[in-house]
Amino acid sequence: MTKTELIKQLARDCGLTLKQSETVVNTFIRSITQALVDGGKVELRGFGSFRTKTRAARRGRNPKTGETVQVPEKVVPFFKPGKQFRALIDCDD
């Protein structure tokens, strides 16, 4: 499902205009993003949680030249699905 499809589905299900639905979806995404940027965590019970993880610095390899390069530490977003959500889609741990 794309963002546009999500907006259309929300409009149909909630009786909103496409513009209103777009505002809701954009606000939701912006809120999650800002919470993570601020170092927080977003937990949606039954669905999952969004947080950040720090990936340690490591040695990598340039696939084009084969040269060893140092990959610096970085912070990446991470989603962990909740138990109910995993059960619905039948994922294994």
Average model confidence (pLDDT) for the chain? 94
**pLDDT at residue 25 is higher than 80:** yes
Q: Is the pTM of this model over 0.85?
A: no
Helices (H) and strands (E) in the chain, counts: 3, 5
What residue ranges do the domains of the chain occupy? 1-39, 41-93
Note the pLDDT of residue 90: 80
Residue range 50-90, pLDDT digits in tens? 999 999 999 999 999 999 999 999 999 999 999 999 988 88
Note the pLDDT of residue 92: 58
Note the pLDDT of residue 91: 56
Separation of alpha carbons 3 and 25, rounded Å: 8
Domain 41-93 sits in which CATH superfamily? IHF-like DNA-binding proteins (4.10.520.10)
- DSSP letter for 62, please: -
Separation of alpha carbons 28 and 86, rounded Å: 22
- DSSP letter for 86, please: H
